[in-house]
A and B are shown apart, each in its own frame.
Chain A
């Protein structure tokens, strides 16, 4: 067994060239080790030392980028892509997801590269005109200012809870006409690599291929990272995920090196009293809520965990919440395999916490959970369980409240997505929830299926990935000069 484990290898890809020598062993998350090039030797190869070498990608017509990505998208069809097939096969050893979910994520990859979506992302996040050339504007003092978006040199420290993050980073980098060094995580060292290898085979000399590198090193290794994270090498760091990884990167931030932080987040759910209007409504709400809980096996920050439900907090209200709990549990178990499965590993600490709640039936009703299949905990009072920040493995906590607005108190800067039912309640909440920290409101059931063309975590990461360059033309006759004031 250990033989096959150590054979897993994650080579690096540096600007189209595969590097698979000087391999050293890294301990994967959960202990599965893998081989990757020695970072001591690899890191010096990664930076694009001369920023003027961005010229080749900067001069690419936007439609050529679209065409490139479209071709890449079709090359990423799982059935005909050996690199993705290999990554899928190896995912058993490193991924937090089960194989059916990795497979269905891989099957969604080509859609991310489709021309309509690429154009939508480019246009809504940066503006295609700003990518294609200088956009002039007459200012109030009558000067003409032209603005254009330029690419930058960036390191993307990506998260591994979904393979789509690797693909999205590559799409964004191409659109932004930038140079990306993707630092892969130990729980997904292969997806970004598989895409990059596909690019190298498809168009080895294309500027988009030559402006992508994919490498693994242990995040937090200051000896290595301090060589790379310098303004001379990179201008931006896009850091996804874990609290430790984001706070760690802060030490490198300095003038000339900007951090775009996609912080660790949690999400919440608010269900209005309309859920109890009819049996049909209850069933629909249950399926929607179960999907928000179970999709991506609850590994995402977008997933529902604590579900506030305006059932009322008196005895009949709590009983309504219990009915919803049972319905959500039933729907969760019935989710199809490509959406959700039982978790690969059910956190034993969480299991212990859930078991302990069974001893407090006055306060908590626990539905399911004994087989690690997922569970619904229904609070019998208007507070979530104290370990609500550790809910994972398809475990939701339904909390009865009297008024949907009571749930606002539970929101803070860590609240990314708020799934809401019905949409009319969303309209009531949307002017208030952001003041408490919430960043995205979405119809219940769609939390785990965000549009990638929209702002993320209350910022516009793609807009920040590019450099906004200004060219001002001032005519002496029109704009009065300083020396003449």
Chain B
């Protein structure tokens, strides 16, 4: 098979290309993988360079005609802030036609004829996009008082979870002997809302087919929807509070009309996590579950369950996944042991996750995060942004190109500082790998008003209180 044909199959369905084996994904000889990645990168560049207006403008400005090597794409990687490069006032003034026009410059999907004139809030805008287009936009948590919107479409979501499924067997089938594990599914314990449009909140909906098989295997704490407007208000409140400007926050008339809805959401938030986990644990005892949450949520769930005498509850081939790091909190030494004692799993899966890419990059036995093969990682000089050599280990700004992205541009520069190695890993995997300690540059530079995972629940609660209080 020619490299070109291979590259298409590889990028258009990584899971199928590697025979649905996570082991195979990480054991292709490094030079072969790089050849494959370069061919796939060139293919995406050719497909997208004229189809995404923002990219086309960058290509023109940089005068780049072709990509001869992987590093040639670096000047064309999007800054992470590109996905929130619209004026924040468009959101607050409900100028959704303008926002659509902005988003249209970032996707191959044609949004020019979309009618969003009836939209007064972010939720309504995303409703229209969900109903009338292939896009299933993922937004950020809005930590800085505004939100980024990534125009991922159904196609990429599907490929993402088809591939994510392979990594679900990291511990239960380490050598990939079990093949595609057809018909095997997980019961998802989801201590969050059923619906929502943030990258994480899209998971139950987008991953259901590949990971759960059907709705019956989904066990949620809150059956309703986490409002994107409430999330945004949470972030704005926090930012305003930090500046002593809460009094100046304005609530748009469209939000005012949704008061009853926010009150329902607020009532749902009162849903007790300990009661939920105790009920779910009893219902699912002995079954194969998947539990995905930040360390503090996992720890809280485990402590509540252990208090009720629930130990070693689930099937041993269950999976517990975490990501997101400590976020500046004191992590108790025994948190992993506590979670393992409750669930009955022997190991916790750690993943380096960015909402902008379609991969959960998993930690190996040697404590290194391995990038999934359809992600080309780069490490950039933190001051001038130039790529550091693709051999040995270097510390710098992490950038990636996600080859699965076929309707938006997969290249972007993160805000993370990583120590990235291109040499083989002691674990035997051939893919580039990053050290466990990952920091955000914005926090290194003296801190920003980022909401941590723990605080975000509080911030959301505060936003709902503000919204319902404000509307009295």
Contacts and interface: CB of A to CB of B under 8 A. Distances in A.
Chains A and B are bound partners: yes
Interface of A: 244, 345, 347-349, 351-353, 355-364, 379, 381, 383, 385-386, 412-414
A353 B87 CA distance: 12
23 contacts: A348-B385, A348-B441, A349-B415, A349-B441, A351-B385, A352-B81, A352-B413, A352-B415, A356-B80, A358-B58, A358-B61, A359-B82, A360-B86, A361-B57, A362-B101, A362-B102, A364-B87, A381-B87, A386-B84, A386-B88, A386-B144, A386-B146, A413-B244
A379 B85 CA distance: 12
B58 A359 contact: yes
Nearest to B105: A359
A439 to B, nearest CB: 16
Contacts of B82: 356, 359
Given A356-B85, A359-B82, A383-B87, A412 B445 contact: no
A244 B101 CA distance: 40
A383 B88 contact: yes
Contacts of B245: 412
B54 interface: yes
A352 B80 contact: yes
Contact of B145 (A348, A351, A357, A386): A386
A412 B243 CA distance: 10
Nearest to B61: A358
Given A356-B79, A362-B101, A386-B146, A348 B86 contact: no
Contacts of B383: 345, 348
Nearest to A390: B448
A398 to B, nearest CB: 14
B95 to A, nearest CB: 9
Interface of B: 54, 57-58, 61, 78-82, 84-89, 98, 101-102, 105-106, 144-146, 243-245, 382-383, 385, 397, 413, 415, 441-442, 445-446
Contacts of A358: 57-58, 61
Contacts of A348: 382-383, 385, 397, 441
A271 B290 CA distance: 60
Nearest to B92: A383
B144 A355 contact: no
Contacts of A359: 54, 57-58, 78, 82, 85, 105-106
A364 B81 CA distance: 14
A414 B242 CA distance: 12
Contacts of A362: 98, 101-102
Given A362-B102, A386-B144, A353 B89 contact: no
Nearest to B55: A359
Contacts of B415: 349, 352
Given A359-B78, A360-B102, A412-B245, A349 B445 contact: yes
A455 to B, nearest CB: 22
Contacts of A361: 57
B145 to A, nearest CB: 7
Contacts of A414: 243
Given A353-B81, A362-B102, A363-B86, 15 more contacts: A348-B382, A348-B383, A349-B415, A349-B445, A356-B79, A356-B84, A359-B82, A362-B101, A383-B87, A383-B88, A383-B89, A386-B88, A386-B146, A413-B244, A414-B243
A414 B248 CA distance: 14
Contact of A381 (B61, B89, B441): B89
B224 to A, nearest CB: 30
A357 B85 contact: yes
B75 to A, nearest CB: 10
Contact of A360 (B80, B85, B243): B85
B57 A353 contact: no
Given A349-B441, A362-B101, A356 B78 contact: yes
B91 to A, nearest CB: 10
B132 to A, nearest CB: 22
Of A352, A362, A379, A412, most B-chain CB atoms within 10 Å: A352
Nearest to A352: B79
Contacts of A364: 85, 87
A363 B146 CA distance: 16
A256 B308 CA distance: 54
A295 B198 CA distance: 43
Contacts of B101: 362
A349 B102 contact: no
A-B residue pairs, 7 tightest by C-beta: A356-B81, A356-B79, A352-B79, A359-B54, A383-B89, A356-B85, A360-B85
Contact of B87 (A347, A349, A351, A379): A379
A385 B82 CA distance: 13
Nearest to A370: B61
Contact of A355 (B79, B84, B106, B243): B79
B406 to A, nearest CB: 19
A361 B144 CA distance: 22
B250 to A, nearest CB: 11
A385 B85 CA distance: 9
A379 B86 CA distance: 11
Contacts of B146: 386
Of B58, B89, B145, B446, most A-chain CB atoms within 10 Å: B89
A245 B145 CA distance: 24
A386 B85 CA distance: 9
Nearest to A357: B85
Contacts of B86: 360, 363
A358 B102 CA distance: 12
B146 to A, nearest CB: 5
B241 to A, nearest CB: 14
Of B78, B86, B244, most A-chain CB atoms within 10 Å: B86
A414 to B, nearest CB: 8
A359 B446 CA distance: 27
Contacts of A345: 383
A52 B72 CA distance: 72
Contacts of B445: 347, 349
A210 to B, nearest CB: 37
Contacts of A355: 79
A361 B60 CA distance: 14
Nearest to B77: A355
Nearest to B106: A359
B244 A363 contact: no
Nearest to A242: B446
Nearest to A351: B385
Nearest to A244: B446
A32 to B, nearest CB: 15
Nearest to B381: A348
A227 B89 CA distance: 48
A303 B85 CA distance: 25
B385 to A, nearest CB: 7
Contacts of B413: 352
Nearest to A384: B87
Nearest to A355: B79
Of A348, A362, A412, most B-chain CB atoms within 10 Å: A348
Contacts of B105: 359-360
Of A357, A413, A414, most B-chain CB atoms within 10 Å: A357
